[in-house]
Amino acid sequence: MPKTLLFIFSTLFFTVVQSQSFKKYEISNSGCSVYMYCAPGRFDETYSEDSSKVYTAECNMDGLNYGIICVKLLTPSESISEAEDMLISYLDYLKVNFDIKSAAGYGRGNRLNNREDTRGVTDYWKDGDNNNWKVKAWTDGKIIGVLYAYSQKELPETKIDAFLNSFRFPAM
């Protein structure tokens, strides 16, 4: 009986995983990439107040919104510690723009693929429309990548985490 249940569970798991396509997308001409469950379409390209190049895109699948903001910094950070502080300042700026009403608090010190020359920051937010957000931002001092997912329903952590950890810097 346990072997039968294990077989049924495994079959269902692989069917669900295969039905949810997780594909790699190049972030315009930034040199960065990201894996997403839905096609982000064309990345919008703008410039920040300090003239850094900003790439943005968002898509929706099954009631979940996935977004990416990639910033090629005009002036790279001197140190990875300084870069992490800048990352937090950028997330504070985004909270205002996304109408975030509450936040769990930043989880600092993450490393992308265990690379010591990267830092990541995670947070959970709630916005004015009562959406649940999970945000993860990455930097190597030259680029900032902010990945987020939000929905009015509860977020599927495992699925969201695969997306949030999928950001790739150039030549990574």
pLDDT at 10: 44
- Rounded to an integer, the average pLDDT of 115-133 is 97
| In the chain, % of residues over pLDDT 70 | 88
Nearest to 87 by CA among 104, 70, 103, 101: 70
pLDDT at 1: 52
Q: Are 87 and 119 in contact (CB under 8 A)?
A: yes
Q: Please report the DSSP string for the chain in residue order.
A: -HHHHHHHHHHHHHHHHHHS--EEEE-TTSS-EEEESS---SPEEEE-TT--EEEEEEEEETTEEEEEEEEE-SS--SSHHHHHHHHHHHHHHHHHHTTEEEE---EEEE-GGG-TT-EEEEEEEEETT--EEEEEEEE-SSEEEEEEEEESS---HHHHHHHHT--B-TT-
**Is the pLDDT assigned to residue 6 strictly greater than 80?**
no
How many angstroms separate the CA atoms of 165 and 114, rounded?
Answer: 11
User: How do residues 74-94 score in pLDDT, each as one tens digit?
Assistant: 999 989 999 999 999 999 999
User: How do residues 33-60 score in pLDDT, each as one tens digit?
Assistant: 999 999 998 999 999 999 999 999 999 9
pLDDT at 20: 60
Q: pTM score, two decimals?
A: 0.86
Average confidence score pLDDT of the chain: 90
More confident residue, 112 or 2: 112
pLDDT-based confidence at residue 126 (cuts at 50, 70, 90): very high
**Is the pLDDT assigned to residue 8 strictly greater than 60?**
no
